C-alpha cells in the first residue's frame, strides 16, 4: 500500500497488486464534475483502520467556511 498526496484529488487505485491512495486536500480540494475540475470548500481526508483481513479505508469530506477564511486572510 502506498499513501501519498499532491494531486489535491482523492484516489484509490490498484496497480500491479499495490493499492495507491491519495486522501485529497485540506486547503485546495478539487472535485471532477462534467469533465471539469472544480475547487470546492470541502476538505478531504482519509481514515484507515487495521482490520483482521487488511485495512478499512474511508474517504471523508468536511465542508468549511471558505469565504470567512479568505476574508480573514486579507
| Contacts of 6 by beta carbon, 8 Å cutoff, 6+ apart | 22
Q: Please tell me the predicted confidence (pLDDT) of residue 67.
A: 83
Q: Please tell me the predicted confidence (pLDDT) of residue 47.
A: 96
- CA-based nearest residue to 27, from 5, 4, 43: 43
What does the pLDDT average to over 14-28? 89
Q: How many domains does the chain have?
A: 1
Is residue 51 over pLDDT 80? yes
pLDDT bracket for residue 52 (50, 70, 90): very high
pLDDT bracket for residue 25 (50, 70, 90): confident
Looking at the whole model, is its pTM more than 0.85?
A: no
- Domain span including residue 66: 2-72
Amino acid at each position: 500500500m502506498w499513501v501519498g498526496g499532491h494531486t489535491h484529488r482523492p484516489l484509490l487505485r490498484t496497480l500491479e497488486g499495490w493499492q495507491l491512495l491519495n486522501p485529497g486536500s485540506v486547503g485546495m480540494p478539487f472535485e471532477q464534475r462534467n469533465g471539469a475540475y472544480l475547487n470546492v470548500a470541502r476538505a478531504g481526508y482519509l481514515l484507515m483502520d487495521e482490520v483482521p483481513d487488511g485495512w478499512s479505508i474511508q474517504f471523508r469530506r468536511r465542508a468549511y467556511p471558505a469565504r470567512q477564511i479568505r476574508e480573514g486572510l486579507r
